[in-house]
Structure formats: C-alpha cells, structure tokens
Amino acid sequence: MRLISKTYFLVAILIFAAGINLVLLYQGNNVQHYESFSIIKIGDIKVGSESISGLVISVAGGSDEDKEKLDQKIFEVEKIIQTIKNSGTINGQQIEKIPSELSSDYNNLSTSWDNYKVSVITAEKISIFDPEATKAMNYLLQKNNELILIANKLTNEIENLDRDYSRHKEIANDLLECAKVIGQQTLLISIGEDINSQDELKEKKLKFEIGIRKLLQISTLDLDVESVGEIHEELIQIPRENSKSLQEIDPLWESMQSKITILEERTLLSPEFNSAKNKMNSDKEILYQDIDKVLKKWSDITSDKNSDEQIIIQVILIVDIVIFFIVLIIIRQSLSPLDKITQAISKVKEGVYGEIQYSGKDEVGQLADSFNTMSHTIKEKEDEGKKNELAKDEFLAMITHELKTPLVPIQGYSDILLSEHLGKLTDKQRERISIIKSSSETLLSIISDLLDAQKLELGQLRITKKITSIKESISKAIESIKLEAEKNNIEIILKGEDIQIEHDSDRIGQVISNLIKNSIIAIKPNEGKIEINIENNPSDVTISIKDNGTGIPKEKQVGLFKKFYQVDATLTRERGGSGLGLAICKGIIENHLGEIWVDSEINQGATFSFKIPKNQSNQNKTPL
C-alpha cells in the first residue's frame, strides 16, 4: 500500500473513533447538564423562601411595592416545584423530572411548602408594630431634643457657681449625657437595631431619675442607686436664680419617664406579628430540611449514574488510546526511514556521505534512492573540487615563489646602478632606473601578499610569538612607513601605555603597516591625521587605527576582510594594491587568537581595531 493511502486510511479510523466519543460525551453531558440545573433549581426554592421571609416583614410594615414582589416570588417558587414534578422548561432551560425513587421526599417537600405558604400569607396581614410602643417611641423622639437643650441650659446656669456646687455640676453633666444616650437608644429601637437598647435605656432612665432627685433635694432611698454606680447623698439647694432650667426639666422628664417605661416593657414589634413570624420561621426550617433531603438524595443518584457513565467513557478512552497507539506504530514504521534520511542529510552538511538502506518501494523508498544517487554525485564532485583546489593552491604558491626569485636581482642591480658603482648616470637614466626599482618593489609587495595569503590558506604561515613590548612593535611598523606618510604630509600619532604581551612582532607590524597604508590611501594629502591607540583591558590588549579619510559605506563593510575584495577599484588602480592586505591582517590576528573589525561612516573616517588575548595558552585554538 502506498504511504499516502495508508495515511488516509489510518486518519479515517482516528476520525471515526473520535466521532463516536463526541456523540457519547455530548449525550452524557446534556443529561448531566439538565439534572444539574434541576438540582440547582431545587436549591433556588431555598433561596426564594429566604427572600419571601424578608418581603413578609416589609409588607407587614406597610410596603405596598414589596407586596407585588412577594406575590411574584411565591409564584416563581411554586412554578419550580410544579416543573420538577412533571418536567418542563424554566427561563429556556430544560428541567428534568424528579426521579421516581424520590417521590415520597418530593411529596414531603411540597407539603412543607404549602404549610410555609399559609404561614407567609398569615404573617403579611398582621401589622408589624405594637401601636402603644410605637406611640411611646414617637413621643420620646419628639421630646428628646427638648430634654437635651434644657439639660445643656442647666449645666450653663450652674457653671459659674462656687466650689460648693461642684457635685451639682457633675450631676448636671451626667444628666446631659443620659439625655443624649436616651435619644440614641430610642432612635436605634425605631430603626430595628434594638440589640441591648432596652437595657441601656432602662439604666440611663434610672441614672437620670437619681440625678434629678438629688438636684431637687428629693430622697433616693426608694431607688436602686448602687445598680448604676451611684450613692445616696444630700446636696445643698441650688440658688433660685440658677435653677430655672431645673424647674423646667422636672415636668418634661416626668412625661418622658412613663413612655420610656413602655419601651422597657414592650418590644416595638407587635406580639401577634412575632407569633406569626415565629410560626413562619418554624415552617421555613421544616421546608429547608425537606429541601436538603431531596438535594442530597438526588445528588447521590446523579453521582452514582455519573460513576457508571465515567466507567463507560474510560473504557471508550482506553479503546481510543489503543487505536491511537496502533496507528502511531504503523505510521512510525512507515516514516522511520525519513529519520535516517534526516540524519544522513545532517552528515552531508558536515562532509560525511553515505547510503540509506531501505528496501521499500513506496514514496520513501524512491526518496531514499534519490538521496543515495545525490550523495554519491556530491561526494564525487567534492573530491574532484578538493583536488582541483589543492592543485591550484600549490600551483599559485609555486608561481608566486618563482616570480619572486627574479625580482631580487632586479632590485639588487637597480640599487647598484643608482649608487653609481658602475659609472655615472644621467638624470634620464636615474629616472628610468628609479621607475624599474619602484615597479619591482610594488610587484614584490603584491607577490609577497599573494604568498602570505596562500600560506594562510594552506596553514603554512609561520608565527613566532614572544613576550615583548607591543608599543615597540607598532613603533617599528610606523618607522617603516613614516617616509610615505611625510611625503603626503600626514601626521601619525601613537598613544597608550607600553604593555608586554605574547605576540609575533614582525607579523603584528605587518598588520599595522597594512592598516596605515590603507589609511594613507583614503586620506587626502596635506590634511590627514592617523591616530593609533593602545588600550589595556583585563583580558586583552586592543589596538585601534583611526583616520580622517573618506570612510567606508556600510554596505561595503560586509566583505571587507575577504581576499581580493576592494572598496573602490578606481582608487586601487590609481595608488596600487592587491586586495589581499585586510585578508592577511585577519589571518594574522586570528592566528593570535584575536579578532579584527571596523567602524566607519561615509565622509567621517574609519577606525580599524583588533585585540590580542593576554593569556593565549588557555585558548583552544593553536596558532601556526
């Protein structure tokens, strides 16, 4: 079977198995969803019943608006109870019929609801407040401000009396505080926050009565003064001109005291409403118990059913997993040769060629045969290319060496002739011989560059490293080219400290010379400056050669250190150059385990920098 056909068949099996699983899961989830929503709705009966209790109190308090809300809530709860009995929908959601094994518990719940509903209707028709207690509370709220004002006036009237009336002043201040507390507690009772308010009201009423009697010289022996932290005592009479407020407060307090007594003895809520409310709460608790029973039993039934469904789903999942692994194994067996091809391709990138053993006749087999043919062809071509490259390098090295040999006597005889050891020269002869010498030197420089480049390519360039002064090596290179710089009126500046570092002085000097020559070419005569800076870093020494020449465009900097690469061929033809100088610089620096780079902007000069590690013995690479 072809690989593509086999793959389609196995994928079809997986899709079929997944389709069956989705159908079963969808059906199970729907049933489970409907039952879960039904159970939630039974819980909503509990929530609705609690809301009904709150609305009953509001309706009994006289809220006509909450009467409509109460009727709506009762309707909603009854609808839930009926829908659960017969099944149906609520707010667009399907409600499952209660299981038959819960019929008895459902009937108990329905009966409890009917009883609770009767209690609710009874309680809402009874007035929530006791008329007499309400009347007393309203009276106290009206008169309390007057009581506080008169008590405050009393404290002001006796404030300027002498120290014999110090105790009178304390009692007057206590009366003012008691009046304020009485008002506060009465207000709390009026808004329903009456926890401990009646006891507090009773205590302050007794304390106020004791204080009034003491100021009026009335006996307190019939009062329980010790219960409020007071004692029986007799005080001197307050002068008449300072007791006007005292005379006013006494009748007012008498009228308020009887109303306070009513609030002490009776609650604000009417006894009839309290009785109906207690009955309603009792029926509500019974309803809650029946709801909890139904919820628990239905949840248990659903849990058992879900457990059975989970077992079925798990069995189906196991079957799916088995099918998946079977398909995976078959596909893996069919595609395993691709892994071999991938590994073989990775080896090809490393220059290792081999054959893939695969006997199949499908698409993978065809791919393996094609790869084997391609691998064999590439190997043959690469071997042939290596032979040609090696022959070319050897030929170029030989030719370069042979070209260099005759140049030595040409230069030697040129020097002899120019020194006039063989006779006097005319000006024209001297000019022609100088051209011969200059041309031979240029040719020798180009041949030397070619030879060095080939030695670097073949790994034959000799590097002799010694720990010497890097500044001295640079200074020697500057001296060798100083004449050419002065001829163009270019200033060369060397900065930096003298550092002892392991390096080949001649080769580093060759790098410096090449970089300075490049700068001289790029600088306009009579306005140039070249700065050479030595920077001492913790792990290396960095040397930079900066000029104020024409600069190098960004797009030209990419291949700058490649062999025969020239930024401006016109400038090279005018001033000479082989295009090998920077490639040789890069090779020498890399053989020192360092790196070289350039920073330049057009018309802003160029800075060539390279760094040499201080501890080259720890590096993995071994220089030639």
Q: What is the CATH number of the domain that holds 540?
A: 3.30.565.10
- What's the half-sphere exposure (Cβ side, CA atoms, 13 Å) at 509? 17
Q: What is the pTM of this model?
A: 0.38
Judged against a pLDDT cut of 50, whether residue 189 lies above it is answered with yes
* The pLDDT value given to residue 624: 45
Distance between CA 554 and CA 10 in Å, rounded?
56
Torsion of the alpha carbons at 248, 249, 255 and 258, rounded to the nearest 10: -160
- Looking at residue 308, its pLDDT comes to 66
Of the residues 460, 487, 513, the one at which a domain ends:
460
Check whether 469 has a pLDDT greater than 90. yes
Whole-number pLDDT of residue 299 = 85
Same domain, 84 and 170: no
Residues 139, 200: one domain? yes
pLDDT score, position 261: 80
Pairing of strands 88-90, 466-469: unpaired
> What residues form DSSP beta bridges with 269?
129
For the chain, the average pLDDT equals 80
Task: Provide mean pLDDT across the span 281-306.
Answer: 87
Domains held by the chain: number: 4
Question: What is d(CA 355, CA 326) in angstroms, rounded to the nearest whole number?
Answer: 30
Residue 342 belongs to some domain of the structure: no
Q: Is residue 337 part of a domain?
A: no
Task: Determine the pLDDT at residue 353.
Answer: 66
521 plus 606 within the same structural domain: yes
Exposure letters 573-611 (e unless 16+ CB within 10 A, then b): eeeebbbbbbbbbbbbbbbbbbebebebeeeebbbbbbb
Provide the pLDDT for residue 325: 78
> Can you give the pLDDT at residue 621?
46
How far apart are the C-alpha atoms of 79 and 124, rounded to whole Å? 21
Residue 365 to residue 359: CA distance in whole angstroms: 7
* More confident call, 533 vs 430: 533
Q: In b/e form, how buried is each residue of 398-426, taking b as 16+ CB within 10 angstroms?
A: eebeeeeeebeebbeebeebeeeeeeebe
Q: Is residue 223 part of a domain?
A: yes
Is residue 114 in some structural domain?
A: yes
User: If you count them, how many residues does the chain have?
Assistant: 624
Task: Assess whether 144 and 251 both reside in one domain.
Answer: yes
Instruction: Convert 6-26 to b/e letters by CB count within 10 Å (16 or more is b).
Output: ebeebeeeeeebeeeeeeeee
* Mean pLDDT for the stretch of residues 15-28: 66
| Separation in Å, CA 461 to CA 451, 454, 455, 528 | 9, 8, 5, 34
Range of the domain at 441: 353-460
Distance CA 556, CA 579 (A): 13
Residues 305 and 399 in one domain: no
When pLDDT is cut at 50, 70 and 90, the band that residue 156 belongs to is very high
- Could you tell me if residue 331 is inside a domain? no
SS (H, E, C) 187-235: HHHHCCCCCCHHHHHHHHHHHHHHHHHHHCCCCCCCCCHHHHCCCCCCC
Domain match, 360 and 493 both: no
Alpha carbon distances (Å) from 19 to 6, 12, 32, 316, 485: 20, 10, 20, 12, 86
Over residues 157-184, the mean pLDDT reads 89
Spatial CA neighbour of 230 closest among 171, 144, 147, 151? 171
CATH code, 378:
1.10.287
My answer on whether 169 and 109 are in the same domain is no
What's residue 421's pLDDT?
Answer: 76
Instruction: Of 85-99, 280-294, 559-573, 576-590, give the range with the top mean pLDDT.
Output: 280-294
Q: What is the pLDDT of residue 113?
A: 92
408 shares its domain with 279: no
Residues 452 and 509 in one domain: no
- Res. 21: pLDDT tops 60: yes
Query: CA distances (Å), 594 to each of 203, 469, 582, 623, in order?
Result: 98, 17, 15, 11
Res 569: pLDDT:
47
Same domain, 7 and 107: yes
Same domain, 560 and 422: no
Among left, alpha and beta (phi > 0; psi -120 to 50; other), residue 566 is beta
pLDDT at 542 over 90: yes
> Residue range 327-335: average pLDDT?
70
Alpha-carbon dihedral 299, 305, 310, 313, rounded to 10 degrees: -140
Identify whether 541 is part of a domain: yes
Give percent of the chain above pLDDT 70: 79
pLDDT at 349: 66
Note the pLDDT tens digit of each residue in 490-531: 999 999 988 999 999 988 998 999 899 888 888 887 778 999
Query: What is the reported pLDDT for 599?
Result: 92
**Strand pairing category for 606-613 and 595-600:** antiparallel
Q: Is the pLDDT of residue 623 over 50?
A: no
Please say which residue of 460, 488, 517 terminates a domain.
460
Q: What whole-number distance in Å separates Cα of residue 469 and Cα of residue 500?
A: 5
Instruction: Indicate whether 334 belongs to any domain.
Output: no
- Do 190 and 73 belong together in one domain? no
Q: Residue 433 — very low, low, confident or very high, per pLDDT cuts 50/70/90?
A: confident
